[in-house]
Structure formats: C-alpha cells, structure tokens
Amino acid sequence: MGDVIDGKALSLVVKEDVKRQVAELEKCFGRKPCLAVILVGDDAASRTYVGNKLKAATYTGMDTLFIELPTNVTERVLLDKIVELNKNSAIDGILVQLPLPKNINEATIIDAVSPEKDVDGFHPKNVAGLWLEKDCIIPCTPAGIIRIIESVGCDLNGKNALVVGRSNIVGKPVAKLLMDRNATVAIAHSHTVNLGSLCRMADVLVVAVGKEGLIDGTMIKPGAVVIDVGMNRNVSGKLCGDVDFESVKPIASWITPVPGGVGPMTIAMLMNNVLHCFQLCNQKGN
Ligand code: NDP
C-alpha cells in the first residue's frame, strides 16, 4: 500500500527555510527581497493563484508589489511596466501571471522580463541555462517535483523515469532535471502508442497532462513513485489530478495527492526562486 506524500507539509519546510534566509538577507543588505506580481484581467483562477503566491511571499517575510492591469491593456503598456520593474533595484523577482489576454503575445512578455528577475524561469536565457547546466532560475513546478521525489529518499540514479506530457513549463524541464540526476528518462505525449506498457516500466512516473483519470492502477509498476501534476475539475467541480488516486495508491510506493501534492510545492519553490533572483541581482550589482 503506497504512502501519500504530504506536499503541503513539505512546502511548509521550504517556506520556513526561505523565511529564515529572508531575515538573514535583511540583516546583511538592509532590505528584504521583493516580489512583483502582475495580474492582467479578471480571470478567477489566475486571481486565486496570484493571491496564493502573494500570501506565501508575505508568510516568508518578503516584500511584495501587486500590479493589476485591465483586460484591455495594450502590450506596449505591459511592456513599459516590465521595463520599469527591470530597472527598479528594489524589485528582485517579477512574475507575470499567465495566461494573458489574446491581444498580448506571451512570448514577447516572457522575453521582456530580465532573466535575473524571472522567478518563473520561463525566459529563453533560463531555459538555455537549464539545458546547458548553467546557474539559472529553474521553473517552480519541475523544481518542486524533484524536491518531492528526493523527500521520500528515492535515489534517481539508474531509475527508469517516465514523464507524461512535454510542455515547456512542466514536462520538458522535469525530464531534464530527472536526467541530471542520472535517471533513464522517457517522455510520453498525445501521440505515444501504448502508454500503459511504458508506464509499467517506470520506477518514477510524473504525469502532467490535464486529463482526469488518464493513469490508473493497471498502468503502474509495483513500488513506483507516482507524481500527479494534473489539475482538473471533475463533474462535481472538485479539484482532481491526472492519476486515479484510489486504484494507483495500493500499487505505488509513494503518491502525491491532488490537491495537496505538487501545487503547494510549486508555490514554495517560487519563494526559493525569489531568493535566487535576489542573489543574481546583487551579483550583477543591479
Ligand atoms: P499542456 O497542455 O501544456 O501539456 C499537456 C501535455 O500532455 C502535452 O505535451 C500533450 O501532448 C500531453 N497529452 C495530452 N493528451 C495526452 C494523452 N492522452 N496521453 C499522453 N500525453 C498527453 O499542460 P501543462 O504541462 O501546462 O499542464 C499539465 C497539467 O498540469 C494541467 O492539468 C495543469 O493544470 C497542471 N499544472 C499544475 C501545476 C501545479 O502547480 N500543480 C503547474 C502547472 C501545470 P502533445 O504535446 O502531443 O500535445
């Protein structure tokens, strides 16, 4: 019978560590790290995510700056705001909540954030840094997944890992991080044939698709570590993952629940990234 990984408890450990470091930085530099968050429009889910991120930042003792812009804001105005924040030496991290309204090109906005302040790790310079093993900002969800896997004492060296999903923000970066830890990594996607047999070979299974119940107990290698990244709403509106928790739990050794698994860790790793940005900005003398 698999054990459930308490992502909320683990996220608290990370946030407590960040809190301690924030206090130390304030002593050394005479100021706290500051996270600026930009929310464009009035999407309810985005507002909730932003609220949770700001709440976590406040918990760790960081300063925050919340900027709200209307749905009809132009790309130019948003770019000007980002340039202003890039230049502001009191701001260490900049987060532009995605998705953006259709009239704004997301890639243009991601490119505009200074790589040293890119807390999400989405800027092309940080993406390249991850693949070339340079000091860079690692995207929060993949970083959180690795932290979760390591927290249960799973040594990835030589393990078979399967990542289901190949997005730029989760699937690809987490596959690279698993490979960096000497796992043998395969990536599945919507064109993959016979997903079940690939899953059954995986000692570590990371599922980031966005399809409720895609993975069930018949697809799990006994003793596998199963990380469910998916965030879906079931027919009754309840938050659920991509993994059928009830049928997978008895076969896995460890499994993350949804909610309470990867989600809280994503936010905790965001806080860690603000500290990393603070260091990078200070090294650069910004
Ligand atoms: P994307 O929609 O960008 O990517 C989904 C991936 O799943 C694609 O690579 C797609 O393949 C693949 N896919 C689709 N259908 C299948 C299938 N039947 N079999 C195998 N692969 C399939 O999603 P994201 O990576 O952004 O997010 C994935 C999920 O994780 C979502 O539910 C999202 O809400 C959640 N999420 C949760 C976070 C958290 O903090 N907990 C953070 C980020 C995301 P193809 O490339 O061929 O289209």
Cβ contact 255:228 at 8 Å: yes
Strand arrangement, sheet containing 63-69: 63-69, 34-40, 93-96
- Using the mean position of ligand 1's atoms as its centre, give its distance from the Cα of residue 170 in Å: 8
- For 138-191, the pLDDT digits (tens) are 999 999 999 999 999 999 999 999 999 999 999 999 999 999 999 999 999 999
Q: Is the pLDDT of residue 66 over 70?
A: yes
Ligand 1 neighbours, Cβ below 6 Å, are: 141, 164-167, 169-171, 188-192, 195, 208-211, 214, 229-232, 262-263, 266
Q: Work out which ligand 1 atom sits closest to the CA atom of 214.
A: 18
Distances in Å between the alpha carbon of 249 and those of 187, 202, 243?
22, 15, 10
Q: Decide if pLDDT at 110 tops 80.
A: yes
pLDDT at 285: 53
What is the Cα–Cα distance from 86 to 180, expressed in whole angstroms?
A: 31
**144 CA distance to ligand 1 centroid (A)?**
16
In this predicted model, what pLDDT tens digit does every residue of 81-91 receive, in sequence order?
A: 999 999 999 99
Provide the mean pLDDT of the chain: 97
- Would you say residue 250 has pLDDT above 90? yes
| Three-class SS state of 239 | strand
Q: What are the backbone angles phi and psi of residue 163, rounded to the nearest 5°?
A: -105, 120
pTM of the model: 0.97
CA-to-CA distance for 115 and 128, rounded, in angstroms?
Answer: 11
Q: Report the pLDDT value the prediction gives residue 149, as an integer from 0 to 100.
A: 98
pLDDT, average across residues 227-240: 96
211 Cα to the center of ligand 1, angstroms: 8
Active site residue 180: no
Q: Mind listing the pLDDT tens digit for each residue in 11-37? A: 999 999 999 999 999 999 999 999 999
Active site residue 21: no
Per-residue confidence band for 2, with pLDDT thresholds at 50, 70 and 90: confident
Q: 1-5, 228-232, 271-275: which has the minimum mean pLDDT? A: 1-5
In whole angstroms, give the CA distance from residue 57 to residue 51. 10
Please indicate whether residue 283 is annotated as part of the active site: no
Per-residue model confidence (pLDDT) at position 283:
79
- pLDDT-derived band at 284 (thresholds 50, 70, 90) equals low
